[in-house]
Amino acid sequence: MDNYLLSIIKNTTEYIEENLLEELNLDNISENVNISKFHLLRIWKGATGTGLMEYVRRRRIACSIKDLISEYNSIEFISSKYSFGCAHTYSRLFKEEFGTTPTKWRRQPFALSIMDRFNADFMSKAGEGLMSFLSITVFPAFKIAGYEFTIDREENDKKQLATQYGVDFFYNHRLQIANPVNKDIYIGYTAIPGKEASFSYYQPSLMVDQNSILPPDMITKKIKTHKYGVFKYMGPHRPEELSSRTLKAIWDYIYSTWIPTMEFELEELFHFEYVDYSKCNKQYCECELYYPISQI
């Protein structure tokens, strides 16, 4: 059975690419992919990092360059061919994309970084979901608050204890924090006492600052500024269903493929899950996993 999210992304890409010279809008794209507009926007943005209609616009600009190279094609002809409406609109959008007008570029061409066709094959299947390497990111220092639990790895595999603690925190204890940095962003912080340890410390948390008011028994932790490798998981399910089983494929990749290629400079071993609940619903989940490389 095909991966649901991967099929949507591939079908959407194919439809857009085949119809770049035709009228394209959110309604006819979602209708031809057979998915609601709202759901399509979430999935596309999650997979590509680009808005759906922004992708259409930037792909049209990229494809127009081959016409721009030909001296026989006027700016008016190109703008009409790629559905920009008029030469003024095409020139404005071209300049927003490349920092110069199409007329100036035609006279003095230089290398351009374009929006190429999105290739969903760069994403990997992770159970029902998809995973991808997102970026190398510097994340400034921040503070979290929550309750810490000792998690035995074998027991967690059987009972999914970390998931249980996380769900309980988000729906109950999270509400006891007044003025968090963002009430919808869940941080699942894992500290590892050593490479050979059979257990870890897991802290379901929210980000807090000096304006936050916490219960007296809640633990706070400050995470220093680090450079991270960031990985993304997308799944066709509720965020409450995230678990070590759900994320197994991405963890296997991180530990077997990515980590062996990196040089780490760390004082402590940890990583965290970052889930923005405002981007999720009962049928869709996004989770970013941050693995520190070095302290900054």
pLDDT of residue 165: 96
pLDDT digits 0-9 by tens, 114-138: 898 998 887 888 888 999 988 899 9
pLDDT band at 63 (very low <50, low <70, confident <90, very high): very high
Structural element, H or E, at residue 9: helix 4-18
pLDDT of residue 2: 64
At CA 140, angle to CA 134 and CA 146, rounded to 5? 95
List Cα–Cα distances, 263 to 5, 111, 193, 228, 260, in angstroms: 33, 33, 19, 12, 8
* Contact of 292 with 189, CB cutoff 8 Å: no
User: Cα–Cα distance between 22 and 11 in angstroms, integer?
Assistant: 17
pLDDT digits 0-9 by tens, 220-258: 999 999 999 999 999 999 999 998 888 888 888 888 889
Domains delineated in the chain: 4-120 (1.10.10.60), 125-295 (3.20.80.10)
Asked if pLDDT for residue 1 goes beyond 70, the answer is: no
3-state secondary structure at position 234: strand
* Contact of 273 with 293, CB cutoff 8 Å: no
CA 188 and chain centroid, separation:
17
Residue type at position 127: G
How large is the C-alpha radius of gyration of the chain? Answer: 23
pLDDT digits 0-9 by tens, 83-116: 999 999 999 999 999 999 999 999 988 888 889 8
* 74 or 72, which is more confident: 74
User: Cα–Cα distance between 19 and 15 in angstroms, integer?
Assistant: 6
User: Cα–Cα distance between 61 and 114 in angstroms, integer?
Assistant: 8
Mean pLDDT (the chain) is 92
* Contact of 245 with 159, CB cutoff 8 Å: no
